[in-house]
């Protein structure tokens, strides 16, 4: 009897697993296509399509309503941008403050290249300075040593 109870309990545990992230039957797939391009406001690194937070569920419901009203995906995304700013988009447009987000890798590479160029120039100048300080007698002795070998 205990085994039957244990098997029943384990069977219920299997049924309690979360459903895979597939669209529920009442939301068309286009809702999730739009929600994948929007961030979940409370979850780190999850889109509104992936998140199970209440606000993400509400966002998907709003998207479904607006699609039913005939709004285009661009209009729906603009609706969320007006409420949350460009941050809500996974690919924010390159303008204003977000322009720095797009340009910062390029600026970083330019600064790194300039730093490496300056470092190489200093090392080269130090090596030339050191070579000029070697006396002629020492150079002649080293050349003679090399000729013997």
- Range of weakest confidence among 21-35, 40-54, 62-76, 129-143: 21-35
- Tens of pLDDT along 69-81? 999 999 999 999 9
Q: Which residues of 18-49 are buried (b: 16+ CB within 10 A; e: fewer)?
A: eeeeebeeebeeebbebbebbbbbeeeeebbb
Give residue 63's pLDDT: 95
- Tens of pLDDT along 39-50? 999 988 899 999
pLDDT above 70: residue 54: yes
Confidence of residue 5 (pLDDT cuts 50, 70, 90): confident
Question: For the residues 16-35, what does the mean pLDDT come to?
Answer: 72
pLDDT above 90: residue 117: yes
Tokens of 63: 């998207």
pTM, entire model: 0.54
Confidence of residue 20 (pLDDT cuts 50, 70, 90): low
Give the sign of the dihedral formed by CA 8, CA 10, CA 16, CA 22.
negative
Asked if 59 and 96 count as a contact pair (C-beta separation under 8 A), the reply is no
Give residue 15's pLDDT: 63
> 3 vs 59, which has greater pLDDT?
59
């Amino acid at each position: 009897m205990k085994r039957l109870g244990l098997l029943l309990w384990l069977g219920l545990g299997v049924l309690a697993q979360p459903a895979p992230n597939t669209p529920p039957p009442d939301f068309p797939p286009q809702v999730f296509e739009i929600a994948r391009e929007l961030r979940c406001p409370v979850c780190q690194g999850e889109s509104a399509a992936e998140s199970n937070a209440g606000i993400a569920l509400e966002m998907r419901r709003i998207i479904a309503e607006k699609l039913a009203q005939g709004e285009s995906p661009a209009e729906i995304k603009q609706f969320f941008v007006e409420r949350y700013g460009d941050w809500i988009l996974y690919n924010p447009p390159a303008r204003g403050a977000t322009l720095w987000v797009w340009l910062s890798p390029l600026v970083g590479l330019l600064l790194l290249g300039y730093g490496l160029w300056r470092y190489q120039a200093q090392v080269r100048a130090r090596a030339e300075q050191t070579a000029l300080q070697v006396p002629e007698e020492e150079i002649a002795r080293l050349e003679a040593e090399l000729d013997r070998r």
